[in-house]
Structure 1
Amino acid sequence: MSEIIFDAAVSLNGFLADEDHSLQWLFDVPGAQEPDPALLPHNVGVHVEGANTYLWLLEHEELIANPEKWQEYYPGVITYVFTSRDLPIPDGARVRLVNQPVQEVLPEILEAAGDKNIWVLGGGELLGQFLDVDAIDTLALTVAPAALSGGAELLPRTIGAERLELTEARQAGPFARLVYRVKHDE
């Protein structure tokens, strides 16, 4: 059965992206250009992301002009982008733009994943929607040694300690890796 994993890098003070929706602050951390492959979720069949994460990736990696890079980075992966905008899609990419609540699209996402995992990459409001419908199994954070003055919050929700069980805390180069198992409503 699929596992739904939120796995993202976050600033020391809890931001996923800066005020301009950029992740460049993360790539400015020494060692961030070549992340430890052990940090990334395995057996992923579906990516889920918000529009800002998707657009930053398209621009940063120049994926519209170089669509072959999409296939190199995400072979066989279906990407669901939650957005109210009409966004460009690289040629040949398996991207589905959706403008519905997570709860309505979740059955389709689960079916698309089959027996592979679902990686929710960002952003914080999207993570919140998945938590609202009790659909996150693992919350994995790579905390960067950098603080931002503002930007996209990790999680604009209150989630009590009773819902999270720490399963891993370790150093990963200059980063701190924290992994929580999300306890599901009974």
Structure 2
Amino acid sequence: MAFRYYTATTLDGFLADDRDNLDWLLSQPLEEGGPMNYDDFFRQVGVAVMGATTYRWILDHEVSDGKPWPYDIPTLVFTHQSLTPVADTISVVAGSPADLRDRLVDAAGDRHIWVVGGGDLAAQFAEAGMLDDVIVSIAPVT
């Protein structure tokens, strides 16, 4: 079991633009089964963690027109805001990563914990000594 930040960036170090847009990323050609591919990574994940901005982005871009929540694993959304979970697998939590470490480890079982999305939450995990791997795909985009 490991805490893993799996993300992507542009050549000049951006994940989302100033409007939290990821169109640049979603338009990149992907090699099915290629190195560091998402499917192989996700098979090893037992729980996902994200912040409110990532959660809202998924709701706005992935869960629309009746599409279900994309993850069938437990997902913890770290925020001090009042958010409504859209699936039974989602828990909205407040506190630091260290406060919830045991819960995350228990939920993950023998699989990994995926820190999804923004760098702020990943930095909180790193500051708590809870970030074992940083896996970054670099897209040839500026």
* TM-score normalised by L of structure 2: 0.86
Determine whether 1:44 maps to 2:45.
yes
Residue 22 of structure 1 deviates from its aligned partner by 1.9
1:123 aligns with 118
> Offset at 1:35?
7.8
Letter matched to residue 71 of structure 2: Y
RMSD: 2.2
Show the counterpart of 2:11: 12
Structure 1 stretch displaced more, 51-60 or 81-90? 81-90
Q: Which residue of 1 aligns with 2:63?
A: 62
- The alpha carbon displacement at 1:66 in A equals 2.1
Distance 1:128 1:38, change over 3 A: closer
Structure 1, unmatched stretches of 5+, are 148-186
State which structure, 1 or 2, has the greater radius of gyration over its C-alpha atoms. 1
Amino acid at match of 1:47: A
Aligned length: 139
CA–CA distance in structure 1, aligned partners of residues 112 and 25 of structure 2: 25
Is the aligned partner of 1:74 residue 2:71?
yes
Q: How does 1:24-39 map to 2 (within 5 A)?
A: 24-29=23-28, 31-32=29-30, 36=34, 38-39=36-37
Identity %: 35
Runs of 4+ in structure 1 displaced over 4 angstroms?
32-38
Distance 1:135 1:113 in 2: 14
Counterpart amino acid of residue 14 in structure 1: G
Task: Identify if the C-alpha distance between structure 1 residues 110 and 49 changes in structure 2 by more than 3 Å, giving closer, same or farther.
Answer: same
Q: Which has the higher contact order (CA 8 A, sep 6+)?
A: 2
